[in-house]
Amino acid sequence: DAGVIQSPRHEVTEMGQEVTLRCKPISGHNSLFWYRQTMMRGLELLIYFNNNVPIDDSGMPEDRFSAKMPNASFSTLKIQPSEPRDSAVYFCASRWRAGTDTQYFGPGTRLTVL
């Protein structure tokens, strides 16, 4: 079975540019999460969706960040404009909201903003 798919795996961009990260959750999962991981702050939850609806975006650092989930099989995280402090690894995770609620993570996108 295919796991969570993220693209691109690596992104290098210049400050001020728009960055779009993509995620395809595991088929059948009904919750999707976006995390950011840095050495200083560890793993931070940015936003999550249940049944394609954003439930909690309190972790989104500022208005430059936005996320969408137009359907059950696709989500985007957009940063516009990007800044050097946005450099991090961004993970997408999905789960079936029942049972153990185990979240399965994608491989991550390593973002570098110059």
Partner 1 sequence: AQKITQTQPGMFVQEKEAVTLDCTYDTSDPSYGLFWYKQPSSGEMIFLIYQGSYDQQNATEGRYSLNFQKARKSANLVISASQLGDSAMYFCAMREAMNYGGSQGNLIFGKGTKLSVKP
CB of 16 to partner 1, least distance (A): 26
Q: Which positions lie near partner 1, rule CB under 8 A?
A: 33, 42-43, 45, 48, 50, 55-56, 89, 91, 93, 97, 100-108, 110
Q: Which is nearer to partner 1, 35 or 65 (by Cβ)? A: 35
Q: Which is nearer to partner 1, 19 or 26 (by Cβ)? A: 26
d(CA 83, CA 113): 6
Q: Which is nearer to partner 1, 25 or 106 (by Cβ)? A: 106
CB of 101 to partner 1, least distance (A): 5
Burial status of residue 22 (CB atoms within 10 A of its CB: 0-12, 13-18, 19 or more) = middle
d(CA 2, CA 41): 30
CB of 105 to partner 1, least distance (A): 4
Q: Which is nearer to partner 1, 65 or 91 (by Cβ)? A: 91
Which residues have CB under 8 Å from 62's CB, separation 6+?
A: none
Taken as a whole, the chain contains a residue count of: 114
- Read off the tokens for 69: 């989930």
